[in-house]
Amino acid sequence: MKLFMVLATLKPEVEKDLSKSISIQKEKVQELMHKGILRSYSLSADFEKVYMVLEAESEVKVIQTLAEFPMISLLKSEITHLCFHRSHSATLLQPSLN
């Protein structure tokens, strides 16, 4: 499998009240993360840019996956094939038995 970075930018003509759309989008993000397809997902503080790292066989498969996102019609996406991607995974604290 290959890794791809997607930078998706909100199209200028889109209305700014996206709270409902973002909520629906979050559900899809959770589903794809659970499946291991989506490695990371970040939304900029101004709600205008989305940064994603996806695992897929090809750029075509990335495009097909992006088509499943509820907000995809509101975004202009740029896809880049990555050499590698590293991120710090959160560790769960172990409870003390003391």
Domain that holds residue 72: 2-82
Residue 73 lies in a domain: yes
Q: What is the mean pLDDT of residues 17-35?
A: 86
Distance CA 53, CA 5 (A): 5
Q: Read off the CATH number of the domain in which 64 is found.
A: 3.30.70.1060
Distance CA 42, CA 82 (A): 17
**pTM of this prediction exceeds 0.85:** no
Residue 93 lies in a domain: no
Domain count, the chain: 1
- Where do the H-state alpha helices sit in the chain? 19-35, 59-66
Q: How large a percentage of the chain has pLDDT more than 70?
A: 87
Instruction: Identify the three-state secondary structure at position 62.
Output: helix
pLDDT tens track for 48-95: 899 999 999 999 999 999 999 988 888 999 999 999 888 766 655 556
**16 Cβ contact list (under 8 Å, min separation 6):** 47
User: Which of the residue ranges 8-12, 18-22, 50-54, 87-91 would you say has the lowest mean pLDDT?
Assistant: 87-91
